[in-house]
A = this chain, B = another copy of it.
Amino acid sequence: MSPRTISESEFETREAELIEIARSLVEKACLTTLTIDKLVAAAPYSKGTIYKHFISKEDLLMAICNKCIQEVQELFVRALNFKGNSRERILAVMVSYIIWAKLHPSQLFAVLSAHSPSVAACTSDERNTTHHQCEASLMGLMNQEIGKAIEAGDLELPEDMNFEQVTFAMWSASWGAMALIMSKGHSEKLQPMVLERESFTNARLILDGFGWKPLSKDWDYQETTKRIAHELFQPEIDALENADTPFIFI
């Protein structure tokens, strides 16, 4: 093959291909066993070429994380199309996140791990920028929904808070539940915790705390959850069923 300048788009295609291979390696084994050597072995390119794309192993991890966030974003968009009130749509987002996490536990671990100072420290500036854009985009979807809820009269923004803080409250509560439950092996105390139930509990408490209507006492959100699953995520629900990690309806 004669040497020639590869175009930017070819470069990007190759990068996407590498990220997919890396993700499949994570999926087949786990994040800890992912090495650059294994990526080289699984990819049709050499080590040097791979280091043209990722300046470090952490950079690769962040690239995987960003791809995951984009995938989650698609689910969020689908969730926000749910025909219902504003709080039901927020619940749909929660459901979609939980479904994704249960479908791809190893990828979730990549997302969790990518959120550590040591990873960001070894990541290229562009990748970091992209990462922040990905997260800002997710937050933007939520902020938009908050605006709609206020417009609809379902929510009153606490005077000393902005949209980002409201989103952060929901985000961090979900994040904590996921991180603790999904990351944990066999803790006696955490064993009985169920991701679906605890996530919904957190969401319910936070949303009731905001006075986001309809309050949990005034609405059957269990019924809403069933509708969400059935109307928006039936294929994913079936996939979870087949993988013997069924979605638990509380």
Q: Which residues of B contact A171 (CB under 8 A)?
A: 176, 180
Given A176-B179, A179-B176, A209-B208, residue A169 in contact with residue B117 (CB < 8 A): no
Q: Which residues of B contact A183 (CB under 8 A)?
A: 115-117
Given A180-B171, A202-B169, residue A189 in contact with residue B109 (CB < 8 A): no
Given A117-B183, A206-B205, residue A172 in contact with residue B198 (CB < 8 A): yes
- In this assembly, does A141 line the interface, its C-beta being within 8 Å of a C-beta of chain B? no
Interface flags, A179-202, vs B, CB<8A=1, else 0: 110011101111011000110011
A135 to B120 Cα, complex, angstroms: 29
Query: Which of the residues B117, B168, B190, B206 comes within 8 Å of A185, measured between beta carbons?
Result: B117
Q: Which residues of B contact A210 (CB under 8 A)?
A: 205
* A161 and B201 contacting across the interface, CB-CB below 8 Å: yes
Report the interface size class on chain A.
35 or more
* B179 and A136 contacting across the interface, CB-CB below 8 Å: no
* A209 and B205 contacting across the interface, CB-CB below 8 Å: yes
A-side interface mostly: helix
* A132 and B188 contacting across the interface, CB-CB below 8 Å: yes
- In this assembly, does A55 line the interface, its C-beta being within 8 Å of a C-beta of chain B? no
A205 to chain B: closest residue by CB: B209
Q: Which residues of B contact A117 (CB under 8 A)?
A: 30, 109, 183-185
A215 to B14 Cα, complex, angstroms: 56
Given A30-B118, A208-B209, residue A173 in contact with residue B185 (CB < 8 A): no
**19 A-B pairs, CB-CB below 8 angstroms?**
A30-B118, A31-B118, A117-B183, A117-B184, A121-B185, A132-B189, A136-B188, A164-B192, A165-B198, A169-B201, A169-B205, A171-B176, A172-B173, A172-B198, A172-B202, A173-B206, A179-B179, A205-B210, A207-B209
Q: Which residues of A contact B (CB under 8 A)?
A: 30-32, 109, 112-113, 115-118, 120-121, 128, 132, 135-136, 139, 161, 164-165, 168-169, 171-177, 179-180, 183-185, 187-190, 192-193, 197-198, 201-202, 204-210
- For the complex of A and B, the 7 pairs showing the least CB-CB separation, nearest first, are A176-B176, A205-B209, A172-B176, A175-B176, A32-B118, A209-B209, A120-B185
